[in-house]
Amino acid sequence: MKKQILLQKAIIVGLIFVVLSFVVGFYYGIYRSRPFPKIIPPPAIQNTQYCIQDSDCVVGIQPLACCSCPQAVSRNTIGTNDWQLYEEGKDYSTEVSCTMFCSPCQTPGIPVCQNNQCTFSSDLVTVTTPGTAEPEDPTARGLNSLPDLPVEDFPPMPISVSYLIDHRSALDGISVRVKGYVVGNWLDPSNCSPIAEYLCPQPRIFISDTSSFRNGYFNLEISVPDRDNWKDYPVGKMIEIRGIVHGDRTYVSLEKL
């Protein structure tokens, strides 16, 4: 009798083991057969300035990006991500419409390869003695590359922005009336450039001869009184304003009277 009971228990245990083995094997087969997600590595970040020698470097620009300035980049960068070879003297401001004010671009120098990175030769410093570095000449910056002409026959008022810029040193300290389109309004926080940081808002506006954004060299910076209402200078509006010119070879601005 005891042998029969033990035999029945052994049979039951055996059946349970067979059933469990079947269930485990079934689900394990399903697990092994399902597709696993492929791990796709993130795209490599392109180094736009990598170089080996000077001939690998060119002057490039992204004309479809706001506030784009000429940069020293790798020759392989041209043709990717809207990069183009920079053409000196070409007005790239007509290729994109921006609502923010951009600082003037630096005059591009000669692209060279330094430590496997393209840069402008003017950005390098010349070491004269140990522990001493000679920086770039500041007079080679700003508006220095643009005409700075004497005033022979004063034109009727109001004058254009381009006339003021082209005669900035001769008009220094003189009261003039100038007209142009508002292209930047730092009185209005919503018009502040994301790179302005703590410099904006402040009582400054910027006007140009055209209603669309132009290179910063062709925009006139105007300091206005704190009491002025930002709503008086909506972007795109043609205004006429009187002020004192502050100009020299590299910079010009107007102080509203």
pLDDT tens per residue across span 81-135: 888 888 877 777 666 666 555 666 767 778 888 888 888 876 554 444 444 445 5
Instruction: Report the greatest alpha carbon distance in the chain.
Output: 133
What's the N-to-C CA distance of the chain in angstroms?
120
Reduce the DSSP state of residue 71 to 3 states and report it: strand
Length of the chain in terms of residues written: 257
Q: Given this model, what pLDDT does residue 35 score?
A: 55
CATH of the domain spanning 144-256, picked from 3.90.1580.10, 2.40.50.200, 3.40.50.300, 3.30.70.141:
2.40.50.200
> Domains of the chain: which residue ranges?
54-136, 144-256
Sheet strands (E) in the chain: 57-61, 71-74, 84-85, 111-114, 117-120, 126-129, 132-134, 159-160, 175-185, 204-208, 220-223, 238-247, 252-256
Q: What does the pLDDT look like over 128-169, one tens digit per residue?
A: 444 444 555 555 556 777 888 998 888 888 999 989 999 999
Q: What does the pLDDT look like over 22-49, one tens digit per residue?
A: 666 666 666 565 555 555 444 444 578 8
- Is the CB of residue 56 less than 8 Å from the CB of residue 74? yes
Model confidence at 177, pLDDT cuts 50, 70, 90, reads very high
Burial of 91 (0-12, 13-18, 19+ CB in 10 A): exposed
Give 105-151 as a DSSP string. PPPP--EEEETTEEEEGGGS-EEEETTEEE---GGGSGGGGS--PPP
